[in-house]
Amino acid sequence: MAAALAGYAALGSSEREACVAEALRALDTPRRPPVASRGAERRGIPTDTSPSGTSQPALPAAAESSRSARNGTPRRPVGTGLATPVRRLAGVGPTNAKRLARLGVETTRDLLFHFPRRHVDYSKLQKVAELQVGDLVTVVVTVWDVGTFPTRRGFERIEAITGDETGNLLAVWFRRKDYFGSKLRGRQVVLSGKVESRLGRLYLNDPEVEFLEQADLVSTARLVPLYPLTEGLNQRWLRNLARGAVERYAPMLEEHLPTSIRRRHGLVDLPSAIAQLHFPDDEPQLVRARRRLAFDELFLIQLGVAQRRRARLRAADSPPLVTPPALADAFHAALPFELTGAQRRVAGQILDDLAGRRPMGRLLQGDVGAGKTVVAAIAMLAAVGSGQQAALMAPTEILAEQHGRTIAQLLGAPAVRAAFEHLRGRPGPEVGLLVGSTPRARRRPLLEAAASGELDVLVGTHALIQESVAFADLGLAIVDEQHRFGVLQRSAIGQKGRSPHLLVMTATPIPRTLALTLYGELDVSVIDELPPGRQTIKTRWVSAAQRDGAYEFVRKQVQAGRQAFVVCPLVDESDAVAAKAAVAEYERLSREVFPELRLGLMHGRMKGAEKDAAMAAFRAGETQVLVATTVVEVGIDVPNATVMLVEGADRFGLAQLHQLRGRVGRGAEQSYCILLSEMPSLDGQERLRVIETTTDGFRLAEEDLRIRGPGEFLGTRQSGLPDLKVADFSDVALIEEARKAAFELIERDPDLREAENLALKARLAILAENATEAV
Between 604 and 635, name the residue whose CB sits nearer to Mg ion. Answer: 635
Residue nearest ligand ADP, CB atom distance: 371
Separation of alpha carbons 478 and 472, rounded Å: 17
Separation of alpha carbons 358 and 352, rounded Å: 11
Between 408 and 597, name the residue whose CB sits nearer to ligand ADP. Answer: 408
Number of residues that bind ligand ADP (CB under 6 A): 18
Binding partner selected for residue 240 from ligand ADP, Mg ion, none, CB under the kind-specific 5 to 8 Å limit: none
Q: Which stretch binds ligand ADP (CB under 6 A): 131-139, 212-220, 274-282, 367-375?
A: 367-375
Separation of alpha carbons 290 and 131, rounded Å: 31
Report strand pairing: 136-150 vs 188-198: antiparallel
**Nearest approach, Cβ of residue 482 and ligand ADP (Å):** 12
Q: Which of 484, 666, 687, 763 binds ligand ADP (CB under 6 A)?
A: 666
> Cα 371 to the chain's mean position, in Å?
28
Q: Which of 371, 500, 665, 722 binds ligand ADP (CB under 6 A)?
A: 371
Separation of alpha carbons 400 and 435, rounded Å: 7
Residue 7 lies near ligand ADP (rule: CB under 6 A): no
Query: E strand or H helix at 120, and its extent?
Result: strand 118-121
Binding partner selected for residue 192 from Mg ion, ligand ADP, none, CB under the kind-specific 5 to 8 Å limit: none
Q: Which of 171, 370, 411, 614 binds ligand ADP (CB under 6 A)?
A: 370
* Ramachandran assignment for 124, one of left (phi > 0), alpha (psi -120 to 50 degrees), beta (any other): beta
**Nearest approach, Cβ of residue 381 and ligand ADP (Å):** 15
Between 270 and 368, name the residue whose CB sits nearer to ligand ADP. Answer: 368
Which of 190, 189, 143 has its CA nearest to residue 170? Answer: 143
**Nearest approach, Cβ of residue 267 and ligand ADP (Å):** 42
**Amino acid of residue 770:** N
Separation of alpha carbons 440 and 454, rounded Å: 19
Contact 181, 146 (CB under 8 A): yes
Residue 191 has phi, psi (to 5 degrees) of: -110, 135
Q: Which of 639, 694, 708, 764 binds ligand ADP (CB under 6 A)?
A: 639
> Cα 26 to the chain's mean position, in Å?
31
**Nearest approach, Cβ of residue 368 and ligand ADP (Å):** 5
Which of 648, 715, 730 has its CA nearest to residue 688? Answer: 648
Residue 475 lies near ligand ADP (rule: CB under 6 A): no
Between 366 and 385, name the residue whose CB sits nearer to ligand ADP. Answer: 366
Separation of alpha carbons 292 and 257, rounded Å: 10
Binding partner selected for residue 337 from ligand ADP, Mg ion, none, CB under the kind-specific 5 to 8 Å limit: ligand ADP
Between 373 and 388, name the residue whose CB sits nearer to ligand ADP. Answer: 373
Residue 509 lies near ligand ADP (rule: CB under 6 A): no
**Nearest approach, Cβ of residue 464 and ligand ADP (Å):** 18
Contact 727, 297 (CB under 8 A): yes
Residue 697 lies near Mg ion (rule: CB under 5 A): no
Residue 531 lies near ligand ADP (rule: CB under 6 A): yes
Between 192 and 343, name the residue whose CB sits nearer to ligand ADP. Answer: 343
Q: Which of 195, 507, 578, 614 binds ligand ADP (CB under 6 A)?
A: 507
Between 243 and 362, name the residue whose CB sits nearer to ligand ADP. Answer: 362
Which of 377, 372, 409, 405 has its CA nearest to residue 476? Answer: 377
Between 296 and 480, name the residue whose CB sits nearer to Mg ion. Answer: 480
Q: Which of 131, 209, 374, 660 binds ligand ADP (CB under 6 A)?
A: 374
Between 638 and 645, name the residue whose CB sits nearer to ligand ADP. Answer: 638
Residue 635 lies near Mg ion (rule: CB under 5 A): yes
Binding partner selected for residue 369 from ligand ADP, Mg ion, none, CB under the kind-specific 5 to 8 Å limit: ligand ADP
Between 296 and 637, name the residue whose CB sits nearer to ligand ADP. Answer: 637
How many degrees, rounded to 5, is the angle at CA 101 between CA 100 and CA 107?
85
Residues 6 or more apart whose CB falls under 8 angstroms from that of 388 comprise 319, 321, 473, 474, 475, 476
Which of 725, 323, 301, 309 has its CA nearest to residue 514? Answer: 301
- DSSP character for 203? E
Which of 441, 142, 302 has its CA nearest to residue 760? Answer: 302
Residue 373 lies near ligand ADP (rule: CB under 6 A): yes
**Nearest approach, Cβ of residue 708 and ligand ADP (Å):** 22
Residue 343 lies near ligand ADP (rule: CB under 6 A): yes
Between 509 and 520, name the residue whose CB sits nearer to ligand ADP. Answer: 509
**Nearest approach, Cβ of residue 394 and ligand ADP (Å):** 10
**Amino acid of residue 233:** L
Site map (CB under 6 A) of ligand ADP, residues 322-341, x = contact: ---------------xxxx-
CB atoms within 10 A of CB 347: 21
Separation of alpha carbons 322 and 129, rounded Å: 82
Separation of alpha carbons 634 and 506, rounded Å: 10
User: In 3-state terms, what secondary structure has residue 458?
Assistant: strand
Between 408 and 451, name the residue whose CB sits nearer to ligand ADP. Answer: 408
**Nearest approach, Cβ of residue 697 and Mg ion (Å):** 13
Number of residues that bind Mg ion (CB under 5 A): 1
**Nearest approach, Cβ of residue 661 and ligand ADP (Å):** 12
Between 508 and 539, name the residue whose CB sits nearer to Mg ion. Answer: 508
Separation of alpha carbons 721 and 365, rounded Å: 18
For residue 1, count CB atoms less than 10 angstroms from its CB and return exposed for 0-12, middle for 13-18, buried for 19 or more: exposed
Give me the residues that bind ligand ADP (CB under 6 A), please.
Answer: 337-340, 343, 366, 368-374, 507, 531, 637, 639, 666
Give me the residues that bind Mg ion (CB under 5 A), please.
Answer: 635
